[in-house]
Amino acid sequence: MAIRPIYETPDAILRQISRPVETFDGELKTLVADMFETMYQAPGIGLAAVQVGVPIRLLVIDLQEPEDAEDPESPPVRDPRVFINPEILWHSDSEVPYTEGCLSVPEQYAEVMRPDRIRARWQDAQGKSYEEEIDGLLAVCLQHEMDHLNGVLFIDHLSKLKRDMVLKKLAKWRKEQALKAA
């Protein structure tokens, strides 16, 4: 397993449309393992393959929710999930706001409206198919990561004014990071 570099906006690779996965082999399993290691180290709860420079329809999610829902400080439970060639078959008409962030838009957050329930179909790393109705944070995260497969970032869901504000804050944050590193 290896930690891979995460591409950040405005890198053009993030705007590529990812191609379907057709071969379920050892190379794919290595990529999945590397993506989990990269995501955990970042740290994040979701990562699409295109974010590590591999434009294929693969994403990984682990919400790492607290063991005790009543105690947010309790240790996180790892529940790694792999979604290959995911599709949204249906989504609810009702949308919910959720404050999203992204490893490709580091340290920036904004409220995005998304359907609160979806029905999705996907494959695992062995090629086995699944179909499930999903809600809550997993539904939001899956939609966010699936956007990456289509060259869409969460900031694309914002008004031009809000998107420009996020990008200005990102530029300021990057300058601060460069000064700290110097």
149 - beta bridge partners? none
- The length of the chain, given as a count of residues: 182
Report CA Rg, the chain. 16
Is residue 145 part of the annotated active site? The answer reads yes
Omega into 10 within 30° of 0, i.e. cis?
Answer: yes
How far apart CA 145 and CA 125 sit, in angstroms, is 17
How far apart CA 170 and CA 146 sit, in angstroms, is 23
Q: In terms of DSSP H, where are the helices of 98-150?
A: 136-149
47 near 33, Cβ under 8 Å?
no
How far apart CA 62 and CA 52 sit, in angstroms, is 17
Torsion angle defined by CA atoms of residues 94, 149, 61 and 118, in that order, rounded to the nearest 10 degrees: 20
Check 87, 100, 111, 145 and give the catalytic one: 145
Query: Which of the residues are catalytic?
Result: 145
